[in-house]
Amino acid sequence: MRGRRRDEQPSEFQSEVIEIRRVSKVVKGGKNLSFRVTVVVGDGKGRVGLGKGNTREIPAAIQQAIRDAKGHLVQVPIVNGTIPHAVIGEFKAARVLLKPAYPGTGIIAGATVGTILRLAGVRDVLTKALGSTNPLTLARATLEGLKQLRTVEEVARLRDRDVKEVLHVEAG
């Protein structure tokens, strides 16, 4: 365990930096420069989170963003490697269309949305970014869409019905 702090154990999460942006704040003495880092963490088994960190040094901002992301995890229902149904996630000016895909399709998405879905553990999905393509806004819209997903079993339980009844009602 050399090199590690005592309280730090190997993480089950993978993390990936989506964006590093240099931001400045104008103050009396001039400009204060800092870095805003947007990070996605996921375990590849349906849990994914988004966080941002803002400090003067990039490594410190990344660590801050990872801690923030782990505090904002979302559970994503995955059925046969894809999402259970189509959904549109919205956040401010960004909208993201997420559609289930057949096995072998892969993740058809841009960099931001693709990273989130890959770290969540989704293998096959079709996506389209509508509106803003700002990475942070797009990531939040994607997570809003993922929060809306429900499996057939969840819907059946919410409606006090059998799974067969729910599927029959939706098909007919």
Question: From its phi and psi, is residue 58 left (phi > 0), alpha (psi between -120 and 50) or beta?
Answer: alpha
For 83-97, give the DSSP string.
-SS-EEEEETTEEEE
Please tell me the distance from the alpha carbon of residue 158 to that of residue 135, in angstroms, as a whole number. Answer: 34
Q: Which pLDDT band, with edges at 50, 70 and 90, does 96 fall under?
A: very high
Determine contact, residues 81/59, Cβ cutoff 8 Å.
Answer: no
CATH class of 14-73: alpha beta
At 118-138, the pLDDT tens digits run 999 999 999 999 999 999 999
In terms of pTM, does the model score above 0.85? yes
Domain borders along the chain are 14-73, 76-154
- Report how far apart, in Å, the C-alpha atoms of 143 and of each of 4, 8, 114, 156 are: 32, 28, 12, 23
| CATH class of residue range 76-154 | alpha beta
- Residues 96 and 88 sit within 8 Å (Cβ to Cβ): yes
